[in-house]
Amino acid sequence: MAVSHSRDRKKISGGRVGKKRDKIKKELGREPTNTKIEKKQKVKQIRTEGGNHKNRVVYAMYANVLDPKTKKAKKTKLLTAEETPANRNFARRNIITKGAIVKTEMGTARVTSRPGQDGTVNAILVEEKKK
């Protein structure tokens, strides 16, 4: 079934709104990507409205982690998803979204990019790994 971004057919009071027209193509949406942490990296390119393209990370292996103390970014391997504010079950399934807390080789980091929209995983270091 198609995902639609059209107006709801119910009023705030619970009454029904009459159908004015059928669904149109520009109102269609897509299922969420649900970017997972895996041992392989996979980026899918999709066509968007106007013939443009958008990169979606399907499987992530690395993240660009920024260290706020040194102001330097480094490509670091992702280990696991610890916490996800979008859905508590996402962390169990290793799905990352914006705002997710992930464990990397540098330490714990918070994801700042939208992997399903931007095509990359960017994060800021929250807690450094103790040596």
pLDDT digits (tens, 9 = 90+) for 49-102: 889 999 999 999 999 999 999 999 999 999 999 999 999 999 999 999 999 999
Q: Is residue 105 part of a domain?
A: yes
- pTM, two decimals, is 0.83
pLDDT of the residue at 24:
85
Residue 84 lies in a domain: yes
Q: State the distance between the two ends of the chain, measured CA to CA, in whole angstroms.
A: 51
For residue 3, tell me if it sits in a domain. Answer: no
Residue 9 within a domain: no
Distance (Å, whole) CA 109 – CA 100: 8
Judge whether 26 lies within some domain: no
CATH number for the domain that contains residue 116:
3.10.290.70
pLDDT band at 1 (very low <50, low <70, confident <90, very high): low
Residue 123 lies in a domain: yes
* DSSP 3-state of 59: strand
Q: Range of 97's domain? A: 32-128
Read off the pLDDT of residues 108-131 as tens digits, 9 standing for 90 and up: 999 999 999 999 999 999 988 776
User: What domain count does the chain have?
Assistant: 1
Residue 124, strand partner residues = 66, 110
- Judge whether 51 lies within some domain: yes
